[in-house]
Amino acid sequence: MVNEKTWKELTDMYYESVSAELSEEEKERKQKVLDLYKRAQLKCKINKYDSALMWYKRAEDLFQKSNFSIKQKRFINLDRYPNSAYIFYSINDFKKAFEYINKTISCLSEVEKEFKVINFAKSRQAHNIIRMFNKQKRYEEYFDWNLYLMNFLMFSEIPNTDNKVDLSVDLIPLVPEKLLTKRFNSIFLELIVNFNTNCEIPFGKVCFFDSFIKRKSEIDQEKFKIFHYFIHCLSSINNEVKSRKESIADNLFKSNDDSDYIYVKILLYVHEIRKHNHLESKKDTILIEHIQQKIQITLSRIYNKSHIEAIKLKLFENGILKQGSLPKAGITSLQ
C-alpha cells in the first residue's frame, strides 16, 4: 500500500502536465469557468435553483467561448461535468444528471490511458449514481449498485462480473487506506441512514447484508471498523436466542459511541427487536423494553430534525415504538 504522499504525487502528475501547457491567461480563464460552476452548485445547496441555472448558463457560455485545446477541455471537464451533474440532480432532471455522470466517467477513461491511477475516481461517480437511484426510488438498482461498490472497495472484487463503471481491481493496492476507508464509510453510512429514514425500504431488507455476514472473517477490522462491528452484531443477533439482560448492540458498541455509530446502532436495535418479536415462546419482553429505551436515548443524540421525524414515522409504522415515546432532537449529528 503506497502512502498518501505517493498517491498525491501520482494523481498530481496529470494536473501538472496539463497546467504546464496553459498560459497565465488560460489559467485565469479556466478558473473563472470553474468558479461559475461552483457558484451554481452553491446556489443549489441553498435551494435557489433559478439562480443556480443562471450561473450555470453563464459558466457554459464562457466555457464554449474559450478556445481551449482538446486536452485542456478534458482537464476542465473533470470538474465541469460533476458540477453539472449535481446541478441537474438537484432540480430532479435525472436524464441530464445521468448524462453528465456518464460524461465524467468517459472523461476519466480517456485520462486513465495516460494516468491509470485516476481510475479510482470512478468509484465516486458510481456513488453518485447510487444517490440518483435512491432519489428516483429505483431501489432494485440502488441495492445492486451498493453491493457492487461495497464489494469492490472492501474485497477488491467485482461481483457477477458486472463491472458497471469499469473499475480496476488491480489498482486498489495503490489507493491509500484513509481514502479507501473514507469512500467505503460514506457509502455504507448513507445506506444505513436510508434504512432508518426511508419508509419505502422495509427493515426486512437488512437481508441485503447476508452475503457480507457469510464473509465476516474476511472483513479488515482496521480499514472497515464500523462495518466490521455492524456485520458481527447482525450475525450475533441472527444466531442468538438466549435470554440476556442487555442487547447485543450495546455489548459490542460500548466503546464506540461517536456520531458515526448512531444510525448503525438504531438499525441494530430495530433488527434485534424484530428478531425477538418472531421468537414467540422465547420472546423476552423485558429485553425488548430495554432496547426500546436504548433507541430513545440514541435518537436523542441526533441533531438532524428531519431525520428524527423520518425515523419516528418509520418506527411507529413498524410497531417498534409507540406514539409519544420519543424525545426531542439532541446535539449530535452524522457528519
Name every residue whose Cβ is closer than 8 Å to that of residue 212 and which is 6 or more positions away in sequence: 150, 219, 227, 231
Alpha carbon distance 107, 65 (integer Å): 20
pLDDT for 291 beyond 60:
yes
Summarised one tens digit per residue, pLDDT across range 32-71 is 999 999 999 999 999 999 999 999 999 999 999 888 888 8
pTM: 0.87
**Residue 100 confidence (pLDDT):** 96
Look up residue 332 and give its DSSP letter: B
Alpha carbon distance 134, 165 (integer Å): 18
**Residue 277 confidence (pLDDT):** 78
Residue pair 86/52 in contact (Cβ under 8 Å)? The answer is no
Alpha carbon distance 45, 52 (integer Å): 9
pLDDT for 241 beyond 80:
no
Instruction: Fill in the amino acid letter for 13.
Output: M
Alpha carbon distance 116, 173 (integer Å): 13
Look up residue 302 and give its DSSP letter: B
What percentage of the chain reaches a pLDDT higher than 90?
55
Q: What are phi and psi of 332, to 5 degrees?
A: -110, 140
Residue pair 76/68 in contact (Cβ under 8 Å)? The answer is yes
**Residue 171 confidence (pLDDT):** 87
Helix ranges (DSSP H) in 171-224: 177-197, 210-213
Alpha carbon distance 228, 222 (integer Å): 9
Under CATH, what is the fold of the domain 1-175?
A: 1.25.40
What is the number of residues in the chain? Answer: 335
> Structural domain boundaries of the chain?
1-175, 180-335
Average pLDDT over residues 305-311: 92
Summarised one tens digit per residue, pLDDT across range 189-228 is 999 999 999 999 999 999 999 999 999 999 999 999 999 9
Alpha carbon distance 280, 147 (integer Å): 33
**Residue 143 confidence (pLDDT):** 97
Summarised one tens digit per residue, pLDDT across range 243-279 is 556 778 776 665 555 677 889 999 999 999 988 877 5
Average pLDDT over residues 7-19: 66
The H or E element spanning position 255 is none
Least confident of 23-32, 237-246, 317-326: 237-246
Burial zone of 66 (CB within 10 Å; 0-12 exposed, 13-18 middle, 19+ buried): middle
Question: For the CA atoms of 147, 151, 154, 156, what is the dihedral angle to 10 degrees?
Answer: -160
For the chain, what is the radius of gyration of the CA atoms? Answer: 23
